[in-house]
Chain A
Amino acid sequence: MKNSRLKLLSSPYIVWAVIFIIVPLGMVFYYGLTDKTGAFTLENVMAVMSEEHAKALWISLGLSLLSTAVCFFLAYPLAMILAHMNVNQHSFIVLIFILPMWMNFLLRTLAWQTLLEKTGAINNLLSFFHLPPLNIINTPYAIVLGMVYNFLPFMVLPIYNALVKIDPNVVNAAKDLGANPIQTFFKITLPLSIPGIISGITMVFIPALTTFVISKLLGGSKILLIGNVIEEEFTQAGNWHLGSGLSIVLMIFILINMAASAIFDKDGEGGLL
């Protein structure tokens, strides 16, 4: 199919991508870097330094890093167990993690409100076992839980895919050369799964950093994340310049993350699918 005319087939998509991906991003940059008169300014970007916005950014960073870490430590053992199960179940495993998406994401997150309430199902269960109650609703921990719940599949699947790709004989070779199970894990399995880990971290960290829904649903209205600030600038305060400026700050973090993953995953091997 090496036909140069075939390249023309890409033009609808290229036109689409320019209009709906490149130009809109350009507009975010335009609004973010100008004031209401249209003059260039860094004020909107620097606004992140203000006490209120800096606090929102720090909380967002803290909570999203924490949930990324929790996701990683929950997902890695799970992915390893799944990878060692029957080989022919690949699509089944993927399905099980995608299936919850067919229940609306907002409703699923809301359900945690009920589960976490003082007299909710979880606390009833805890008191049945005479354990201390869990009062995390409307706290940052509830937000972390919501993030972990929503984004865990995006950590499990890339790591699972990376682990499945490892030739079992490579692991056997390490054992054969004298490595005990712990050495084999840290010297072979873990390094070889790095592409999956990196893409898992990206896929959890970015949505967690930028969410405004989970914090609204589970954090009470007390905790403002950077996503909430931006959303309010657009839907309520109406200061698009400030909202765009803060979005540019968000994109800087996203770019840092993407650059890091490009270094670790040169071949683009890690993937959700």
Chain B
Amino acid sequence: MIKTTAKKIYIVLIFIFLYAPIATLMVFSFNKSRTRAKWGGFTFQWYLSLLGNREIMQALWNTLFIALVSSLSAVVIGTVACIAINNMNKRRRAVILGITNIPMLNADIVTGISLMLLFISLGFKFGLGTILLSHITFNIPYVILCVMPRMKQLNPSTYEAALDLGASPVLAFFKVVFPDILPGVLSGFLMAFTMSLDDFIITHFTKGAGVDTLSTKIYTEVKKGIKPEMYALSTIIFVTVLLLLFLVNKAPKEKNERRI
């Protein structure tokens, strides 16, 4: 019994470690005082002034736009690539998957500057477009990582059975293959969306002047002091995600174990 108590205490300590900063940020969002260090009383004012803060709202829309478009594009490109990779021989598959792993294993800073060098030499105008291209690039591997295992588990006979019963290859794919790999596609999308949302380093090197995501906005604010509205916004985002997850967990669960 002492052992199980010790285990529980250990888990709790780790979770305090992981979530203490998050709790701290939430407290900041209700702090009347503009500086982090002092508690000036409870207030909702930052949540109200948030809506009027055009810079932060613009950064938020940029962030959401990039996260959504880049993860959707990555899902399409990645899923199609998975179908093809699954049909390759071992050697080709190993080469492609090896290349796919590069953005995941390489340092973000190297990926960031390499893309920056590319965009400069191609004469691209830095802005939302370059950020988007970069995010799609580092998101595709996450999609492939999530979809590939599902693809491998597929029973090839079901696709052939659909063809045998008269379905066209495209129809057969959407009726038979797609539902089977859907959980992988969904978790790939979620993963890509999260990674895009949380990215700072690659965006830092591929954004143009005047275009900001939340991450880069925060980074520039670090020296001047973070605007309290930022805490309010982060709190809203976090709580929203938490509620969504709670709702999803409450919903009837899929029977076969889904691996995120």
Contact = CB atoms under 8 A, between A and B. Distances in A.
Would A and B touch once assembled, by the CB under 8 A criterion? Answer: yes
Interface of A: 1-4, 6-14, 16-17, 19-25, 27-28, 31, 74, 77-78, 81-82, 88, 90-92, 94-115, 117, 119, 121, 149, 152-153, 202, 206-207, 209-213, 216-217, 227, 230-231, 234-235, 240, 243-244, 247, 250-251, 254, 258, 271-273
Interface in B67-124: 77-78, 80-81, 83-88, 96, 99-100, 102-103, 105-111, 113-118, 121
A98 B24 CA distance: 18
A167 B80 CA distance: 34
B24 A121 contact: yes
A27 B117 contact: yes
A243 B114 CA distance: 11
B121 A108 contact: no
Contacts of A92: 249
Contacts of B15: 96
B56 interface: no
The 8 lowest CB-CB distance pairs between A and B, nearest first, are: A10-B84, A24-B114, A111-B21, A13-B81, A210-B107, A9-B84, A20-B137, A24-B118
Contact of B257 (A90, A107, A121, A243): A90
Contacts of B11: 78, 81-82
Contacts of B215: 104-106
Contact of B14 (A74, A108, A254): A74
B197 A102 contact: yes
Interface residues of B, number: 85
A108 B238 CA distance: 12
B171 interface: no
6 contacts: A13-B80, A91-B258, A99-B245, A213-B219, A250-B107, A251-B106
A114 B24 contact: yes
- What's the dominant secondary structure at chain A's contact region? helix
B109 A212 contact: yes
Given A102-B238, A119-B37, A207-B107, A27 B78 contact: no
Interface string B3-27: 0000100110011011111101100
Given A9-B80, A20-B133, A250-B107, A27 B121 contact: yes
B20 A115 contact: yes
B131 interface: no
B109 A247 contact: yes
Nearest to A26: B114
B15 to A, nearest CB: 8
B145 to A, nearest CB: 6
B10 to A, nearest CB: 6
Given A23-B118, A94-B260, A258-B105, A104 B198 contact: yes
A2 B137 contact: no
Interface string B219-260: 100100010001100100110011001000100000001111
A205 B194 CA distance: 21
B105 A27 contact: no
B159 interface: yes
Interface string B194-220: 110110110001000000001100110
Given A100-B22, A103-B237, A210-B110, A20 B231 contact: no
Given A102-B241, A111-B24, A271-B145, A1 B107 contact: no
